[in-house]
Amino acid sequence: MQMQAVDGEVHADLTLDGRMEGAPGLAHGGAIAAALDDLFGGVLVLLETPAVTARLNVEYRLPVPLHTPLHLVARCTATEGRKLHMAGTMSAGEAIVAEASAMFVRVEIAHFEASGVPVPDAWRSWGGAARG
Ligand SMILES: CCCCCCCCCCCCCC(=O)SCCNC(=O)CCNC(=O)[C@H](O)C(C)(C)COP(=O)(O)OP(=O)(O)OC[C@H]1O[C@@H](n2cnc3c(N)ncnc32)[C@H](O)[C@@H]1OP(=O)(O)O
């Protein structure tokens, strides 16, 4: 998913296809949640801090049709020590089809390195859990 930073928010355009189908012709709720969670990951890039999703809440307001352009927006609404509070929306035209809030927790780079797969070099210059 291509993301753009706009005034402290992260924006993305997305069209879901048959691979993300739940009920016939409609997007699976898990795909909607994954897209919003991924967008919150983009907010971490703006904040230049590694963190992981600790809690994700999605309000599904309207069925989300496949093959229809969707617009997503996310931002960090508050920080509280290691906790980052996020909020985001997914819209189809003028209608908000889903809203999400999440709590991320800042972690050290070692959290990701534990998988054994190298992390991008850029991440190393960023703050970790110790950052206020
Ligand atoms: C390109 C650049 C990207 C840069 C970004 C890099 C990231 C990219 C990746 C993008 C990823 C994209 C997204 C993904 O896919 S992230 C993948 C999905 N998420 C995970 O795998 C996370 C798994 N969980 C953990 O690793 C640990 O549980 C974490 C690290 C979250 C906390 O374990 P840790 O031992 O470190 O800390 P702590 O337990 O002392 O908790 C600390 C504080 O947080 C509070 N708390 C914790 N959990 C919850 C909860 N569920 N509800 C409410 N509160 C919770 C807790 O009470 C405490 O608060 P307080 O007592 O201090 O007040």
- Domains with residue ranges and CATH for the chain: 3-125 (3.10.129.10)
Closest alpha carbon to 59 in 90, 92, 22, 14: 90
Residue 111 DSSP one-character state: H
- What is the predicted pLDDT for the residue at 121? 85
For residue 45 and ligand 1, the question of a CB distance below 6 A is answered with yes
For residue 52 and ligand 1, the question of a CB distance below 6 A is answered with yes
Q: Per-residue pLDDT tens, the chain, 132 aa: give them.
A: 999 999 999 999 999 999 999 999 999 999 999 999 999 999 999 999 999 999 999 999 999 999 999 999 999 999 999 999 999 999 999 999 999 999 999 999 999 999 999 988 888 887 666 554
Q: Where are the alpha helices (DSSP H) in 1-87?
A: 29-47
Query: What is the ipTM score, two decimals?
Result: 0.92
**Of the residues 47, 105, 112, which should be mutated to test ligand 1's pocket, given the most ligand atoms within 8 Å of the CB?**
105
Phi and psi torsions of 83, nearest 5°: -90, 135
Tokens of 48: 């230049």
For residue 124 and ligand 1, the question of a CB distance below 6 A is answered with no
Name which residue sits closest to atom 1 of ligand 1, judged by CA: 45
**How far is the centre of ligand 1, averaged over its atoms, from the C-alpha of 1 (Å)?**
23
Q: Quick count: other Cβ atoms within 10 Å of Cβ 50?
A: 24
User: Would you call 132 exposed, middle or buried from its count of C-beta atoms within 10 A (0-12, 13-18, 19+)?
Assistant: exposed
**How far is the centre of ligand 1, averaged over its atoms, from the C-alpha of 72 (Å)?**
23
Closest alpha carbon to 62 in 10, 99, 108, 25: 99
Let me know how many helices (H) and strands (E) the chain has, helices first. 2, 6
